[in-house]
Amino acid sequence: MLNILWLNHRDPKHPRAGGAERTIYEVAKRLVEKGNKVTIYCPRWKGSLDEEIIDGIKIIRKGNNFTTHAFLPIFLIKNSFDAIINDLAHGVPWISPVFLKRNNFVFFRHLHARSLPGQVDIILAKIITILEKLYPFIYRNIKIVTESSSSEEDLIRLGLDKKNIVRIPPGVDLNLFSPGKKSKSVQLIYFGGFRRYKRPEYILNVYEQLKTNINHLKIVITGDGKLLQQIREEAKTKNYNIFFTGRVDQDELAGLIKKSWVNLHFSITEGWGLSIIESSASGTPTVAFRVPGVIDTLKDNLNGFLVDDISEFSNKILYIIKNENLFINNSRKFAENFTWEKTADMWRELLGNIEKIS
């Protein structure tokens, strides 16, 4: 049995928890089921408890996104762990290797330098960009887990040693996300988030392109965020048939995806593109931009299409609609390569090689 500490800036219950937190939860839950102890250390958020247990995973919340780093040294002095996972999902790096010289791991999702402009203060964006360039010094000789070949290439370009990089792709719940009957009229879905680098405003461009080609076209949008209201107002002004669900749970999301004909994805970059695999598992192909991370999860003419310009979206969507059954079957087959059991097994194998602290 190992006692594992997972450092991240959000926990699975965080109001803005996303794909990164889904991976942490699914892996940690399975590590616990195999007899290990897992503690997630993260900042507090409004209405959160300082401590709680979620499916056997212990959650410790201290400080805010920045002060939580100041509390960490004391926490590490008071508590002993066999392994520490420094999760870099949200930009600001953890530096536990300074306090624990062995059995540290890093979980790198994607290069934030691509996605930060327009999202955070210019000064903070520059600081995080500089910190990313320091990874080869901060995390020298430490095993780094990443999800895709795109992210692995980014790490190598930063100067990290390829022999220390381990690729572990996320999984998908193949029972929850499964094919079902499509809506009678064409329904597209967007559930990719509302941060600026996700470019959700392109939903309106796609509707404009398709409205004269598809009768009774409907786009379903799930989630919330700062950019949502702007999209909602413009859709209302133009009388677009766009339905906004707000935040939904996993069961409702899975139901919406399986009814949809195509998943829309506009992100500038991804570590992996979990939403694309969830759509594929549901028999729903995706049209997305040809960008890092997405190219690892979306294969042309198999589970959707990669495009280089927003103007290409409509033709690819129309092609998918005409060949619906082919894409339903191929998308599902592709997704079946990825399960949370496989992902957790790879993490267990990696962590199992460490020297346990007595």
Per-residue pLDDT of the chain (358 residues; tens, 9 = 90+): 899 999 999 999 999 898 899 999 999 999 999 999 999 999 999 999 999 999 999 999 999 999 999 999 999 999 999 999 999 988 788 988 877 777 999 999 988 777 766 566 678 778 888 888 989 988 988 999 999 999 999 999 999 999 999 999 999 999 999 999 999 999 999 999 998 899 999 999 999 999 999 999 999 999 998 899 999 999 999 999 999 999 999 999 999 999 999 999 999 999 999 999 999 999 999 999 999 999 999 999 999 999 999 999 999 999 999 999 999 999 999 999 999 999 999 999 999 887 554 4
Q: Is residue 11 part of a domain?
A: yes
Q: Are residues 230 and 305 in the same domain?
A: yes
Residue at token pair 């009229």: 185
Range of the domain at 247: 187-335
Rounded distance, CA 193 to CA 258, Å? 18
Q: Is residue 223 part of a domain?
A: yes
Q: Are residues 237 and 327 in the same domain?
A: yes
pTM, 2 dp: 0.91
Q: Are residues 234 and 321 in the same domain?
A: yes
Give me the number of domains the chain comprises.
Answer: 2
Q: Are residues 90 and 17 in the same domain?
A: yes
Q: Are residues 125 and 194 in the same domain?
A: no
Q: Are residues 347 and 315 in the same domain?
A: no
Burial-class residue 130 by CB neighbours within 10 Å (0-12, 13-18, 19+).
exposed
Q: Are residues 39 and 117 in the same domain?
A: yes
